[in-house]
Amino acid sequence: MSVIVIAEIGINHNGDLDTAKKLIDGAAMAGCDAVKFQKRTLDVVYTKAELDKPRESPWGTTNREQKAGLEFSVDQYKVIDAYCKSKGIDWLFSAWDIESQRVMRPFNCKYNKVASAMLGNVEFLKEVAGEKKYTFVSTGMSTVAELDAVVDLFKKSGCPFELMHCNSTYPMKNEEANLSVMATLRERYKCKVGYSGHETGRIVSFAAVALGATSLERHITLDKTMYGSDQAASIEIDDLIRLVRELRMIPGILGSPEKTIYPKEAESRKKLRYYDAAK
Is residue 13 assigned to a domain? yes
Say what the pLDDT of residue 273 is: 86
Is residue 119 assigned to a domain? yes
Contact criterion met (CB below 8 Å) for 30 and 87: no
SS3 content of the chain, % helix, strand, coil (to 5): 45, 20, 35
Is residue 279 assigned to a domain? no
The overall pTM is greater than 0.85: yes
**Which segments of the chain are extended strands (E)?**
4-10, 34-39, 54-57, 60-62, 90-95, 112-114, 135-138, 161-166, 193-197, 215-221, 235-236
Amino acid identity at 241: I
Cα–Cα distance between 100 and 38 in angstroms, integer?
9
Spatial neighbors of 110 by CB under 8 A, at least 6 apart, are 34, 90, 92, 133, 134
Structural domain tally of the chain? 1
Contact criterion met (CB below 8 Å) for 170 and 208: no
The CATH number covering residue 76 comes to: 3.20.20.70
Is residue 203 assigned to a domain? yes
Q: Is the Cα dihedral 184, 185, 190, 195 positive or negative?
A: negative
Is residue 93 assigned to a domain? yes
CA-closest candidate to residue 205, choices 160, 260, 167: 167
Cα–Cα distance between 87 and 91 in angstroms, integer?
11
Say what the pLDDT of residue 260 is: 92
Which mean pLDDT values do the consecutive 10-residue runs of the chain (279 residues) have?
Answer: 93 98 98 98 97 97 98 98 98 98 98 98 98 98 98 98 97 97 98 97 97 98 96 96 97 93 92 73
Say what the pLDDT of residue 70 is: 97
Strand pairing of 34-39 and 90-95? parallel
Secondary structure (H, E, C), 147-165: HHHHHHHHHHHCCCEEEEE
Say what the pLDDT of residue 1 is: 60
* DSSP secondary structure letter of residue 170: S
Q: Which residues pair with 94 in a beta bridge?
A: 38, 113
Say what the pLDDT of residue 88 is: 98
Is residue 261 assigned to a domain? yes
225: containing domain: 4-272
Is residue 179 assigned to a domain? yes
* DSSP secondary structure letter of residue 96: S
Is residue 277 assigned to a domain? no
First to last CA, the chain: 37
